[in-house]
Amino acid sequence: MSKSTDELFKNVISHAKEYGFVFPSSEIYDGLSAVYDYGQNGAELKNNIKTYWWKAMVQMNENIVGIDSAIFMHPKIWKASGHVDGFSDPMIDNKDSKKRYRADQLLEDKIERYSKDGKTDKAEKLQADMDAALNAEDLPRLRELIIEHEIACPVSGTRNWTEVRQFNLMFSTQMGAVADDADTIYLRPETAQGIFVNYLNVQKSGRMKIPFGIAQIGKAFRNEVIARQFIIRMREFEQMEMQFFVRPGTQKEWFDKWKEARLKWHLALGTDEAKYRYHEHTKLAHYADAAYDIEFEFPFGFKEVEGIHSRTNFDLSQHEKFSGKKMQYFDPEVDPETGKPYGNYVPYVIETSIGLDRMFLLTMINAYEEEDLSTDEKQDSRTVLRLHPCLAPVKAAIFPLTKKDGLPEKAREIMDKLKIDFNIQYEEKDAIGKRYRRQDAIGTPFCITVDHQTLEDNTVTIRHRDSMAQERVAADQLDKIIGDLVSW
């Protein structure tokens, strides 16, 4: 990470805290590793991102519906899905510092260091060796590579490593009063399984016809071995997932459609296209027949934000096997080749899965700007969040110019009308310039000032966040001006 991007990232993190977007969890107790809380502005921004996704997926598509399934689920679900046996990362401990690391992460860091030092051959060789070891799930080989490449513990500086073990990422807890094995349940590590186990309920009660989708937004939990990069890798996070059920044989066509549609969703927010790229998975999970990530260029490099996966009929077939319940769909449509209905089958699934917290961070980083406003006469600057207006936590702020002469009452009267439709903030403290700066820092698109003239002709000054231009408008036009800009 170059110094300036490193600094930018640090500044975004401290800005997020200072302005009530993201706080470390349990901060007065020195925090809880890789867990974060969203503050008053963060909660609004997060809700707006959810709404943007929900509208694009559920409201705009007649054949997609949304559900909200429970976090606790029957433990057999995680057996069937493969998570109990296979959802793990290779872990290694340093015997001196007692610190725990992901073996693949240590190797990746080394590869990065080789690349930075211009040792391209070494970097490529290690990458190939590591991929081979991971593919073969050869844990002793991962350790050998760590030793061979003289990787030392970042804390103790020693190379005194334990064996590499698989570490399951699921959190477990006990249900009911008696703690015995049968009662062990898991906090879901993804929201997708809640959709699969409800697929028949939704299909029947909604009389859904293939192709159709089920969407869900909700919390997921992973006991990540190492926590890194702020809200990129958390132990409690939120996902927005959609499973799209299709006729076998049509999955490629639908995969391509969703891959394109999801990138469009990102770009519709006005983000620079060059900041995004697709990453194709070369190593596919055994049940998948295609997988792409949508990656965004964060200050610390390109990182996955969303995955689009063609999951075949693996999940539904597994649930059929483990639950003993039929997961078949009867397709009455006639196959032009045979002249007969397609009949019974277990649908294939295309999944789109985006991390809400990563999307949140992407949005903050993208919007954050330290703008130099200096002129010949004086030095000046502001920090502004150039958020898309529909995502902005506060849509407009209302300022009485002074705290007297009936201006606060007039300002509140205007606010009371607007707040029915928009999130509005009232501020009367400090000079107007200072109030503008505070609203710029949380990304408020409009500031409205009520002054003495307002009392005479019911006009106000409206100031635009991005251009800082001001204009005089009739107060009863505000509804439309704000609505036009912040509508979805």
Residues near ligand ATP, by CB under 6 A: 222, 224, 233-234, 237, 239, 304-307, 353-355, 357-358
Between 208 and 220, CB nearer to ligand ATP: 220
Shortest distance in whole angstroms from residue 166 CB to ligand ATP? 15
- Is 371 labelled as part of a ligand binding site? no
Between 329 and 360, CB nearer to ligand ATP: 360
C-alpha span between 209 and 98 (Å, rounded): 55
Shortest distance in whole angstroms from residue 313 CB to ligand ATP? 19
C-alpha span between 447 and 467 (Å, rounded): 12
- Is 353 labelled as part of a ligand binding site? yes
- Is 100 labelled as part of a ligand binding site? no
Query: What is the Rg, in whole angstroms, of the alpha carbon atoms belonging to the chain?
Result: 26
- Is 458 labelled as part of a ligand binding site? no
Between 138 and 304, CB nearer to ligand ATP: 304
In this structure, is the dihedral angle defined by the CA atoms of residues 47, 53, 56 and 59, taken in order, positive or negative? Answer: negative
DSSP H or E run through 481:
helix 478-486
Shortest distance in whole angstroms from residue 179 CB to ligand ATP? 27
Q: Are strands 446-450 and 459-464 parallel, antiparallel or unpaired?
A: antiparallel
Q: DSSP letters of 176-236?
A: SSS--GGGEEEB-S-SHHHHHTTHHHHHHHTT--SSEEEEEEEEEE---SS--TGGGS-SE
ω before 211 within 30° of 0 (cis)? yes
Shortest distance in whole angstroms from residue 392 CB to ligand ATP? 23
Q: How many other CB atoms are there within 10 angstroms of residue 237's CB atom?
A: 21
Between 81 and 239, CB nearer to ligand ATP: 239
Closest CB to ligand ATP belongs to which residue? 355
The answer to whether 60 touches 51, Cβ cutoff 8 Å, is: no
Dihedral-angle region of residue 235 (phi above 0 means left; psi in -120 to 50 means alpha; beta otherwise):
alpha
- Residues near 432 by Cβ (< 8 Å), separated by ≥ 6? 399, 401, 449
Between 298 and 399, CB nearer to ligand ATP: 298
The answer to whether 44 touches 423, Cβ cutoff 8 Å, is: yes
- Is 357 labelled as part of a ligand binding site? yes
Give CA angle at 235 (232, 241), nearest 5°: 70
Shortest distance in whole angstroms from residue 425 CB to ligand ATP? 29
Between 351 and 451, CB nearer to ligand ATP: 351
According to DSSP, residue 29 is labeled G
Shortest distance in whole angstroms from residue 232 CB to ligand ATP? 6
- Is 69 labelled as part of a ligand binding site? no
Between 311 and 319, CB nearer to ligand ATP: 311
- Is 238 labelled as part of a ligand binding site? yes
- Is 446 labelled as part of a ligand binding site? no
Compute CA distances 484 → 5, 388, 471, 481, whole Å: 35, 13, 16, 5
- Is 232 labelled as part of a ligand binding site? yes
- Is 224 labelled as part of a ligand binding site? yes
For the packed helices 40-54 and 356-367, what is the interaxial angle rounded to 10 degrees? 110
Nearest CA among 187, 212, 189, 186 for reference residue 199: 212
Between 251 and 461, CB nearer to ligand ATP: 251
Cite the annotated binding site for substrate by residue number. 102, 190, 237-241, 351-355
Cite the annotated binding site by residue number. 102, 190, 222-224, 232-241, 304-305, 351-358
Cite the annotated binding site for ATP by residue number. 222-224, 232-237, 304-305, 355-358
